[in-house]
């Protein structure tokens, strides 16, 4: 099989059959015309896979879906208008009234709200467990558990969840394992190959990589993705064809972007780890990371995400973020530019203060999405901002 960088550029894409265009055409259309009434009926009932209406399926989006299915090692993939559209549609397709869900406590804020606050409104009970505590996951999984939901590496504390072990636990009661792999990208880890049933991505992040498109992706086996697509038809979180084209363009540079993210992140993490004004650095690629051995086993690259706990107060941490000149204070990640956030006041306000404390989100924790700028410039920038504390 071709290597990651070749598959990121070419993947399953072919020259456009009618023009020879090397890029996927943008089918910016809502609907598709038919000459025979019978053909419409066949397409609507799934006898043929002709396109009918873009909320259901679109040729540009289908090219993107095949490419990401290939990168993830899944049978199929469905794209959405945002990561949260992908996550909520996938979860809602897989739980029913009376079911039980086990989820790790360290979740992206809106996912936390979905499983912690919204699912119970529909009669689905959720048990939250600590990400690095497989024993507690094992104790919480019951006969009526239908979904085990994990995020790894976690946002923003960069803990890891053992994907293979979580899959075994989920499967022991016939539940499925869903893994949010946004922080790793398909080139950082392949959860489906480690036993997960579904992998989800905020494709707004590394997959697209340029802070200019909202998108979400779900990959898994064909039958599962077919069901998720049917739910997408109802909930309506379909990706726009132009956005699909932009994500396809972003993926062409995924391999070289991820290589640079990995290199810059380890260089910045190593610098920060030695700095006297830093309490801890969380980065799976550091030997000091408590789960470094697990990172080596389940990740192909450690990615561009790290978090750093500064010494001092909330105000010190705020001053630090304001003093950065190359890095920007802004709530996203996985793009070419370095972005920082203070999770306690920005991305994780949905968590109760108790869950923030339990997951290690202190007031001085800063999450860094390390971009692809020059590593020396980034180190200099962080150094001058730390000097102002």
Ligand X SMILES: Cc1ncc(COP(=O)(O)O)c(C=O)c1O
Which of 60, 204, 359, 369: binder of ligand X (CB under 6 A)?
A: 204
Beta carbon nearer to ligand X, 108 or 271: 108
205, 232, 252, 260: the active-site residue: 205
From 172, 179, 161, 185, select the one nearest 298 (Cα to Cα). 161
Q: How many residues bind ligand X (CB under 6 A)?
A: 13
Smallest separation (angstroms) from ligand X to the CB of 335: 11
Radius of gyration (C-alpha) of the chain in whole angstroms: 21
Decide if 227 is catalytic. Answer: no
Please name the residue that has the structure tokens 């972003």: 250
User: Residue 156: is the preceding peptide bond cis (ω within 30°)?
Assistant: yes
- Give the CA count within 13 Å in the CB-facing half-sphere of 301: 23
Q: 37 burial class (0-12, 13-18, 19+ CB within 10 angstroms)?
A: exposed
DSSP state string for 99-134: -EEEEES---HHHHHIIIIIHHHTT-EEEEE-TT-H
Binding of residue 359 to ligand X (CB under 6 A) = no
* Half-sphere exposure at residue 187, Cβ-oriented, CA atoms within 13 angstroms: 28
Number of helices (H) and strands (E) in the chain: give both, helices first: 15, 12
- Rounded Cα distance between 17 and 181, Å, is 34
Q: Please, is 231 exposed, middle or buried when counting C-beta atoms within 10 Å of its C-beta (0-12, 13-18, 19+)?
A: middle
- Residue from 74, 216, 241, 301 touching ligand X (CB under 6 A): that is 216
In the complex with ligand X, the residue whose CB is nearer, 370 or 385, is 370
CB of 109 to ligand X, least distance (A): 8
SS3 220: strand
Q: Which of 4, 55, 168, 249 is catalytic?
A: 55
* Residues 75-104 interacting with ligand X (rule: CB under 6 A): 82-84
Between 69 and 333, name the residue whose CB sits nearer to ligand X. Answer: 333
Which of 132, 162, 180, 381 is the catalytic position? Answer: 180
Q: What kind and span of H or E run contains 339?
A: strand 339-341
| Residue in this structure with the two tokens 């049978």, named with its chain if needed | 75
240 is catalytic: no
Check residue 108 for interaction with ligand X (CB under 6 A): yes
106 binds ligand X (CB under 6 A): no
Q: Catalytic residue at 180?
A: yes
365 DSSP β-pair partners: 309
How close are the terminal C-alpha atoms of the chain, in Å?
Answer: 51
By beta-carbon proximity to ligand X, the closer residue of 43 and 84 is 84
Q: Least distance in Å: CB of 332 to ligand X?
A: 6
Nearer to ligand X, 280 or 332 (CB): 332
Question: Catalytic one among 7, 70, 108, 356?
Answer: 108
| Contact between 156 and ligand X per CB under 6 A | no
Rule CB under 6 A: is residue 189 a binding residue for ligand X?
no
Q: How far is the CB of 47 from ligand X (least distance, A)?
A: 34
Indicate whether 180 belongs to the interface with ligand X (CB under 6 A). Answer: yes
Binding residues (CB under 6 A) for ligand X: these are 82-84, 108, 151, 155, 180, 182-183, 202, 204, 214, 216
Active-site residue set: 55, 108, 180, 205
């Amino acid at each position: 099989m071709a290597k990651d960088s070749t598959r990121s550029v070419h993947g399953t894409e072919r020259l456009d059959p009618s023009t020879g265009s090397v890029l996927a055409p943008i089918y910016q259309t809502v609907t598709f015309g038919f000459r025979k009434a019978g053909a419409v009926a066949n397409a609507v009932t799934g006898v043929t896979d002709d396109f009918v209406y873009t909320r259901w399926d679109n040729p540009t989006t289908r090219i993107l879906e095949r490419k990401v299915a290939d990168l993830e090692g899944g049978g199929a993939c469905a794209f959405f208008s945002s990561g949260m559209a992908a996550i909520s549609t996938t979860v809602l397709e897989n739980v029913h009234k009376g079911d039980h869900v086990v989820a790790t406590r360290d979740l992206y804020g809106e996912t936390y709200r979905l499983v912690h606050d919204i699912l119970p409104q529909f009669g689905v009970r959720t048990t939250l467990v600590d990400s690095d505590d497989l024993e507690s996951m094992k104790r919480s999984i019951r006969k009526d558990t239908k979904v085990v939901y994990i995020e790894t590496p976690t946002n923003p504390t960069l803990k890891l969840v053992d994907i293979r072990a979580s899959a075994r636990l989920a499967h022991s009661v016939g539940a499925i394992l869903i893994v949010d792999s946004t922080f790793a990208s398909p080139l950082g880890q392949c959860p489906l190959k480690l036993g997960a049933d579904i992998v989800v991505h905020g494709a707004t992040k590394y997959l697209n990589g340029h802070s200019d498109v909202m998108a979400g992706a779900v990959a898994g086996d064909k039958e599962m993705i077919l069901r998720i697509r049917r739910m997408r038809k109802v909930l309506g979180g379909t990706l726009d064809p132009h956005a699909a084209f932009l994500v396809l363009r972003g993926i062409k540079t995924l391999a070289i972007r991820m290589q640079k993210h990995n290199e810059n992140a380890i260089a910045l993490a190593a610098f920060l780890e030695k700095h006297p004004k830093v309490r801890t650095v969380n980065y799976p690629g550091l030997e000091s990371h408590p789960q470094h051995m697990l990172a080596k086993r389940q990740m192909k690259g450690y990615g561009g995400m790290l978090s750093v706990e500064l010494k001092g107060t909330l105000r010190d941490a705020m001053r630090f973020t304001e003093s950065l000149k190359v890095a920007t204070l802004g709530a996203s990640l996985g793009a070419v530019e370095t972005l920082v956030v203070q999770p306690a006041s920005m991305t994780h306000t949905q968590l109760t203060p108790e869950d923030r404390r339990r997951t290690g989100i202190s007031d001085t924790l800063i999450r860094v999405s390390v971009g692809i700028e020059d590593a020396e410039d980034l180190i200099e920038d962080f150094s001058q901002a730390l000097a102002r504390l």
